[in-house]
Amino acid sequence: MHAEPKINLTSSELNNLWSNYMNDTLAISVFNHYLQHVDDNEIRSILEFALQLSESHVQKITEIFKKEQVAIPLGFTEKDVNLQAPRLYNDMFYLTYVYNQAKLGLHSYTVALSTSARADIRQFYSENNLTSTELFNRSSDLLLKKGIFLRAPFIPMPEKVEFVQHQGFLSGFGDKRPLNSIEISNIFFNLIRNITGVTQLIGFSQVAQSQEVRDYMVRGKEIAQKHVQIFNTLLTENDLPAPNLWDTPRDSSVVTFSDKLIMSHVEAMNAAGIGYYGVSLGSSPRKDLGVDYSRLMLEIAQYAEDGANIMIKNGWMEKPPQAPDRQAIAKNKNER
């Protein structure tokens, strides 16, 4: 019998595993701190399940990397969290945080599955999709049970099939048509994401160590608040309900997470925000919404670039795997 030929990881498989390792080690630090302070036993159970999933992902990816002789990223360790620091957020924020992380996980694992070739990697992401679905459903059920699930607005059910009759459907200036269900959904969930972001950034601004990072968090909070107002206005102009509430973090200023973790977390939020705005831009026919999403994306991109520069300056940005520099290799050979 001939041995099965070794199939190396593709660049997309390597990227997905590397990125997931970074995200899961960050999540482990966050969940461990939340578990030091959570009072509600039902929320504690969900946090423990989320922590268990992240730990199992890190273990599996570590095994794959060792087998493939891939350098294991540093990621985030116990040095990036102060478990003795006081509570920073309340239990309801903990639950909302897990719910949002589960949604991000579902998206991330679906993309990873669809861009993987090797059977073992596809199996890994298939399993992750199942467990992330369970986490999403459990957190959703508990949000509903506690009466804090923010539902998208209700609109009348269509009674007949209709087709667009004129170009005015695309116009968003002057005499605007009402928002359609796709546009409402995008606006609402971008609104909710920014509301949660405001709370997260306020807390981070209180416990960051350096003034530079604190200032960056305050700037991010102000951007998120402005985006909340824009999305609120879009809904209220169409006589649709628009939630405008966010939790207030506790008044602790004790260092809870390292500045490296805080900056990395916000950079991940920025990347997700740009992605969601891009999807919203592509699926919103009204031209004024396209203009809104374009300028909001640009604002986040500029903010994210400034954040990346802070991380690079402080040595906090771990370099992802990259292709070889063929020109440099050729140049070095010629210089020998």
* Average of per-residue pLDDT across 231-240: 94
DSSP track, 13-79: HHHHHHHHHHHHHHHHHHHHHHHTT---HHHHHHHHHHHHHHHHHHHHHHHHHHHHTPPPP----GG
- Name the superfamily (CATH) of residues 9-149: Ferritin, core subunit, four-helix bundle (1.20.1260.10)
Residue 141 has pLDDT above 70, yes or no: yes
Return the SS3 of 163: coil
Kindly report the number of other CB atoms within 10 A of residue 168's CB atom. Answer: 11
Residue 285 has pLDDT above 60, yes or no: yes
Identical fold between 9-149 and 175-320: yes
Question: What pLDDT does 103 receive?
Answer: 95
The DSSP H or E segment spanning 147 is none
Return the SS3 of 257: strand
Sketch the domain layout of the chain as residue ranges: 9-149, 175-320
Mean of pLDDT over the chain? 93
* Average of per-residue pLDDT across 175-181: 89
Please write the tens of the pLDDT for every residue from 51-64. Answer: 999 999 999 999 99
Q: Which two tokens stand for residue 324?
A: 């070889």
Return the SS3 of 199: helix
Residue 312 has pLDDT above 80, yes or no: yes
Choose among 85, 131, 89, 124: nearest CA to 106: 131
Question: What pLDDT does 175 receive?
Answer: 77
Please write the tens of the pLDDT for every residue from 62-119. Answer: 999 999 999 999 999 999 999 999 999 999 999 999 999 999 999 999 999 999 999 9
Question: What pLDDT does 137 receive?
Answer: 98
Query: Are the CB atoms for 190 and 280 separated by under 8 Å?
Result: yes
Query: Are the CB atoms for 113 and 125 separated by under 8 Å?
Result: yes
C-alpha dihedral sign at 19, 265, 106, 188: negative
**Distance from C-alpha of 66 to C-alpha of 16, rounded to nearest angstrom:** 16
Binned at pLDDT 50, 70 and 90, residue 274 comes out as: very high
Question: What pLDDT does 243 receive?
Answer: 82
Length of the chain: 336
Residue reference for tokens 């269509």: 158
Residue reference for tokens 């416990």: 207
Residue 183 has pLDDT above 90, yes or no: yes
Class at the top of the CATH hierarchy for domain 175-320: mainly alpha
Choose among 103, 131, 125: nearest CA to 192: 103
Question: What pLDDT does 2 receive?
Answer: 54
* Average of per-residue pLDDT across 17-30: 98
**Distance from C-alpha of 68 to C-alpha of 248, rounded to nearest angstrom:** 46
Binned at pLDDT 50, 70 and 90, residue 133 comes out as: very high
